[in-house]
Amino acid sequence: MNIPLVDLKAQYNTIKDEIDQVIADVLSQSAFIGGPYVSAFEKAFAAFCGVRHCVGVGNGTDALFIALKVLGIGPEDEVITAANSFIATSEAVTMAGAKVVFVDINPSTYNMDVRRIEEKITYRTKAIIPVHLYGQPADMDPILALGRKYKLRVIEDAAQAHGAEYRGRKIGSIGDMACFSFYPGKNLGAYGDGGAIVTDDGDLALKARMFANHGRVSKYDHDLEGVNSRLDGLQAAILFVKLKHLDEWTEKRRRAAYLYNELLKDTSLITPVELENVRAVYHLYVVRAGNGTREDLIDHLGRYGISTGIHYPIALPKLRAYSHRKFGAWEFPRAAEASSEILSLPLYAELTEPQIRHIVDAIRAFGG
């Protein structure tokens, strides 16, 4: 039995007729840039997130960069974010000309440890970017309180958290702005790159839309220099179809995660924690394999035909990309420790109970 980490072909097969139809629509209309599906998806996704505005952009990294720019963040400014994420989070800060300031993680959730944020705030701090990593909502109330106290903007990195909820509110509706990725492997994924910025602030949405389209106010009239970052018509059409199925897919992911939790509870692996008053969407199902066993476990599972991943094998401050910052070896100990132990097991809506039991049986055969 071969079980991939993600199975996009299986997902496509469940919605093939719908997908093929909208692709044909876009081709017949030649609506490749803009067009009715872009508008329809933006409206639908804004409603899904519980906000007034959605601006489709080229990818999740651009979404973060554009949000920072329209909030006026740039050189001499500092932006606080988590030490464990994909580099796009910190990369966007640097692209905007600001300095990224890392905060160590809560080892239970892998999200930013909210107790360690305030000590990182300086007179240069302008924003906090909480990352809802693996589809687990960050603890937003303390972050919002710090934002109010120090007059900081809060930009949610929701690239892995489509449909997640925090205290009854959809992720994406809590901060000043939120940024999503529609990379193919996401819970809501395109068939190429795509991203979105969502917000309740009409002025910020207008600025983001303008900045993402060369600063354009009309075809050849530009109020400012922007970038070329638009969600194209084909990707919007695909996302429009997929969004209708997202709630169902999320429930299947959650059931799969709970089954994993139940079957793995008497093993040595540490399973994910879902905090009270949140609804995680399990973009990834991440366990911890301690005592230096992870690499051997990966090899063992591979022999059973089971694919795995590591998200992420190096904490952001430890990457060579940030070697010029000269972070000490003692800094960010929780993120560093987690990066040496975390392991992503297969999880997607089409994953079956027999497949999950096969994975768990293989883990038990390892001695887990």
pLDDT at 62: 98
Structural domain boundaries in the chain:
8-103+110-243, 246-366
CB 182 within 8 A of CB 194: yes
Question: 283: closest CA among 43, 140, 13, 86?
Answer: 86
pLDDT digits (tens, 9 = 90+) for 34-43: 999 999 999 9
Question: 116: closest CA among 129, 132, 134, 102?
Answer: 102
**What are 344's strand-pairing partners?**
286, 309
pLDDT digits (tens, 9 = 90+) for 270-281: 999 998 999 999
CA–CA distance, 237 with 235 (Å, rounded to integer): 5
Look at the alpha carbons of 310, 312, 318, 321 in this order and tell me if their dihedral is positive or negative: positive
Question: What is the CATH T-level fold of the domain 246-366, as seen in this structure?
Answer: Aspartate Aminotransferase, domain 1 (3.90.1150)
CA–CA distance, 77 with 75 (Å, rounded to integer): 5
pLDDT digits (tens, 9 = 90+) for 309-341: 999 999 999 999 999 999 998 999 999 999 999
CA–CA distance, 31 with 37 (Å, rounded to integer): 8
Tokens of 295: 């690499």
Question: What is the CATH T-level fold of the domain 8-103+110-243, as seen in this structure?
Answer: Aspartate Aminotransferase; domain 2 (3.40.640)
Span 219-243, average pLDDT: 96
Question: 195: closest CA among 101, 34, 54, 24?
Answer: 54
Count Cβ neighbours within 10 Å for each residue of 124-151 and write b for 16 or more, e otherwise: ebbbbbbbbbbbbbbbbeebbebbeeee
Q: Tell the residue number behind the tokens 């209708």, with chain if given.
A: 244
Identify the band that residue 368 occupies on the pLDDT scale cut at 50, 70 and 90: low
What is the value of pTM for the model shown?
0.97
pLDDT at 218: 86
- Count of helix runs (H) and strand runs (E) in the chain: 12, 14
